[in-house]
Structure 1
């Protein structure tokens, strides 16, 4: 059996990460900022639309992030091949209910990891060196969702080894989680409200995250508002 070299795996993984991002972010961007721009402009959270220069910068830093994400494949495969992770190969080993539960557990674990690392990189000693890049997009578009400084990209990638070492997981569950992560991160950077999210009591919303980008304060969560409400860092216009 022929195996791909590490370099080929890195290139393939990076291209797949980029493709998924381009399809998801690109679709939302095309509908809201190009095709239906006039129709939906009144709904935009910040009424002005960002300049092309900002959008190009968002795309550049996002693609750089996915190059870094792709490089992590080497290390993750090494851990998996050497039996260092809790990967299981048959869904029947744990059953479908656990398979579904594991995806939700990944999301909850990531939300906790994201909140506290996000608070960390907002510290005055760290912010200007790392997180300032992401906050230069005060009026974000879907392309800003992964527009990180390289060091922030490495920090954000840290949730994956935590999952690999702690949680029994099937590779399809991990794929579903990463896809959900991508979609939700794009949604909160839309710059437009997303139908239905405001009705969910503990869900993060584009409005809440847009406020965070504009002020660099409050609303540090990714998917949920649990930690923000517990820690007194939640803001809502309602």
Structure 2
């Protein structure tokens, strides 16, 4: 995230927002900047890609399903808009640690002896590490002691649209994103690769709520077949 913060400081925040006497590496300034950048980025990714998916990929016939709720799209958006700032609070604390040099993120390929090979291994291990942990976290959230308190709100949308992709209880949303944030504190990864993977993860989250799972479930149940 320090790549984004550096660009924001250089082109906008330092010349136009903050006083010249406030150093860019001040922890309080970095916290404010990261809060703004994280929320703007989250809303931009959410609305841009969810809208594209909703209008160009999502099967709108699913909205006729009896379990599709009244005003559901509006409710999904409202829930997401309210949840994202709360999810960003603990997220920014981890971004702040990264920006201040506590992670194992690196700038150049030449910083490690195995160069490009290590970069490729890092991408594959990131995908394996995060997918594995999220699987077990998701299973844990379905435990009877946690489900009603944390995870049930996301399953309000039985027939989800792409706008349900970020409609989580804030704790649920942050916990399921945690593997992506803790990976660079445990293993080395290129900063640009980490930022790209983080963006792709958000796009993927929207993509898996595009309604295809619902269509496949209907077909497996024998719905939608022609009658003789």
Q: Please, what TM-score do these two structures have when normalized by structure 2?
A: 0.72
| Contact 2:34–2:96 (Cα < 8 Å) also in 1 | no
Task: Tell me what 2:8 maps to.
Answer: none
Q: Which has the higher helix share?
A: 2
| Contact 2:150–2:171 (Cα < 8 Å) also in 1 | yes
- Cα deviation, residue 15, structure 1: 0.6
Q: Which whole-Å deviations, capped at 9, do the CAs of 1:167-202 have from their partners, x for residues lacking one?
A: 10122111121122122222221113xxxxxxxxxx
| Contact 1:9–1:73 (Cα < 8 Å) also in 2 | no
Structure 1 CA distance for aligned equivalents of residues 150 and 88 of structure 2 = 20
> Residues 175 and 78 of structure 1: is their aligned pair in 2 closer, same or farther, counting only changes over 3 Å?
closer
> Residues 56 and 100 of structure 1: is their aligned pair in 2 closer, same or farther, counting only changes over 3 Å?
farther
SS at match of 1:175: helix
Number of residues paired by the alignment?
A: 193
Structure 2 CA distance for aligned equivalents of residues 125 and 70 of structure 1 = 25
- Cα deviation, residue 11, structure 1: 1.2
Structure 2 CA distance for aligned equivalents of residues 21 and 114 of structure 1 = 20
Task: Tell me what 2:65 maps to.
Answer: 48
Task: Tell me what 1:21 maps to.
Answer: 46
| Contact 1:69–1:157 (Cα < 8 Å) also in 2 | no
> Residues 171 and 134 of structure 1: is their aligned pair in 2 closer, same or farther, counting only changes over 3 Å?
same
Task: Tell me what 1:107 maps to.
Answer: 127
Gaps of 5+ in 2: 1-13, 15-22, 222-228
> Residues 135 and 207 of structure 1: is their aligned pair in 2 closer, same or farther, counting only changes over 3 Å?
same
| Contact 2:109–2:190 (Cα < 8 Å) also in 1 | yes
Question: Stretches of 4+ moved more than 3 A in 1?
Answer: 49-52
Structure 2 CA distance for aligned equivalents of residues 101 and 178 of structure 1 = 17
Structure 1 CA distance for aligned equivalents of residues 199 and 124 of structure 2 = 13
Gaps of 5+ in 1: 193-205, 215-235
**In the alignment, structure 1 residue 180 sits paired with structure 2 residue 162:** no
Give the RMSD, CA atoms, in angstroms.
2.9
| Contact 1:28–1:142 (Cα < 8 Å) also in 2 | yes
- Cα deviation, residue 5, structure 1: 4.2
Structure 1 CA distance for aligned equivalents of residues 78 and 117 of structure 2 = 40
| Contact 1:102–1:173 (Cα < 8 Å) also in 2 | no
| Contact 1:103–1:176 (Cα < 8 Å) also in 2 | no
Structure 2 CA distance for aligned equivalents of residues 171 and 52 of structure 1 = 43
Out of 101, 121, 134, the position equivalent to 1:83 is 101
Q: Please, what TM-score do these two structures have when normalized by structure 1?
A: 0.69
- Cα deviation, residue 8, structure 1: 2.9
Out of 138, 143, 152, the position equivalent to 2:172 is 152
Which of structures 1 and 2 has the bigger CA Rg?
A: 2
SS at match of 1:105: helix
| Contact 2:30–2:96 (Cα < 8 Å) also in 1 | no
